[in-house]
Amino acid sequence: MTARVQGQEPVATPILHVDMDAFYASVATRDRPDLADVPVIVGGGHRGVVLSANYPARVYGVRSGMPSTRARRLCPDAVVIAPDHDEFSVVSSAVMEVFRRVTPLVEALSMDEAFLDVRGAVRRLGPPAVIAEQVRAVIHDEQRITCSVGVAATVSVAKLASKRAKPDGVVVVPPERVTTFLHPLDVGELYGVGEKTRASLHRLGLVTVGDVAHTPVGTLRRALGDALGTHLHELAWGTDRREVSPGRSGVFGNGGGDPERSMGAQETFSRDVDDREVVLRELLRLTSRVTTRMRVAGVAGRTVAITVRFADFTTITRSRTLSEATDVTQEVYRAAVGIYDALGLQRARLRLVGVRVENLLPREQVHHQHLLGEREHGWSEADRAMDRATRRFGDAAVRPASLLG
């Protein structure tokens, strides 16, 4: 399968599957260098189950979902850390924002993995394999955790490729190598094949993906049903047609088409910054990016939050709730500046800043109350005029004067 980008050569491998490496354990230990080479289990209280285990713990056979009593028997010297779900959510949101800087076509499968369709980004960022390396570098720099990326023509092959890339790597499977890559694998590794289907295939004598591929599709349909038989045949040849669908994501919403609960963006400076004007320009640029996404999604939010990370990697987040929900760039920016100034940082050296709008709701549910003397047409209309210009002429067509140059 080859995806064609208008005005460009076809893109052979436009799909990325990005999967964080031992996500919960990595986040829990990123500020604990003393635990870098020590077996670590996240979760797994006295009667609980393991939420995550780092790679040194996995050597002992510890896996997520395992009863904690068994995990401790397998690895009695492991350090057990209680999960910080708020921190996991913050990091997950930041990672997803990195993906959305690359492409709007992001389908989050969980807090720590997503599919990206990058065919629209190759002109700007380079080939998919280069984009994969850029994503890994940014996540490592901004969040100090690692990820693995599979690059392929289809979602199912990309998913399998990222598994082969672990930990902290990239595997590219071009179309001409798909069958060589797929056919030696156990059928249970195919994307979406669970234990029940795997057992059914094994009972039929179909052990490898190659066995399924070389079984007539009619035979598979009779044994497994029309839909499943056809689907498995396509998976076995790497020809499934499933597209990356942002609407399928249920990570930040409820999976039923409701809006995300928050949207944000953050940026790591090329060098530590202690100049307020530089920080404010970055806050404006990030705010513009966030509110543009909000207007595209048809949402508005009441709570504005900013994140700052200092040169020593200490990170703080502060928020402010507005009187009414908004998607207006200047209103969000004013709130972000107010939060920043209230921190009283003066000459503190900053490594990263971020802006997030939370408590989102559909735009049609927001009823703006005009203030006495307020112009009928103002910043909201200006934002929408800019949106129309950028859709037609590109992102650089219109921007705030302070961001020029």
In tens, the pLDDT along 302-358 reads 999 999 988 887 888 899 999 899 999 999 999 999 999 999 988 899 988 999 998
Q: How many domains does the chain have?
A: 3
Residue 149 lies in a domain: no
Domain boundary among 31, 62, 86: 86
Mean pLDDT within 280-307? 90
Q: Are residues 230 and 270 in the same domain?
A: no
Of residues 385 and 359, more confidently modeled: 359
Predicted local distance difference test score (pLDDT) of residue 90 = 82
Mean pLDDT within 372-392? 55
Domain boundary among 57, 86, 115: 86
**Cβ proximity of 126 and 148 under 8 Å:** no
Provide the domain limits for residue 291. 262-403
Of residues 215 and 45, more confidently modeled: 215
Using pLDDT thresholds of 50, 70 and 90, give the confidence band for residue 111. Answer: confident
Is 176 an active-site residue?
no
Residue 140 lies in a domain: no
Predicted local distance difference test score (pLDDT) of residue 1 = 46
- Chain-centroid distance of CA 245 in Å reads 13
Residue 12 has pLDDT above 80, yes or no: yes
Residues in binding site for Mg(2+): 19, 112
Predicted local distance difference test score (pLDDT) of residue 117 = 95
Residues in a beta bridge with 50? 43
Q: Are residues 268 and 391 in the same domain?
A: yes
Between the alpha carbon of residue 210 and those of residues 70, 173, 183, 190, 241, the distances in Å are 36, 17, 4, 11, 19
Mean pLDDT within 123-133? 95
Predicted local distance difference test score (pLDDT) of residue 87 = 83
Q: How far apart are CA 405 and CA 386, in angstroms?
A: 18
Residue type, 186: D
Question: Which of 337, 275, 274, 264 lies closest to 310, judged by CA?
Answer: 274
Residue 237 has pLDDT above 50, yes or no: yes
Question: Which of 400, 137, 170, 392 lies closest to 288, judged by CA?
Answer: 400
Mutual angle of helices 226-237 and 217-224, in 10-degree steps: 140
Q: Strand 299-310 relative to strand 170-172: parallel, antiparallel, unpaired?
A: unpaired
Q: How far apart are the first and last CA of the chain?
A: 41
Using pLDDT thresholds of 50, 70 and 90, give the confidence band for residue 224. Answer: confident
Catalytic option among 107, 113, 142, 260: 113
Predicted local distance difference test score (pLDDT) of residue 7 = 38
Mean pLDDT within 223-237? 91
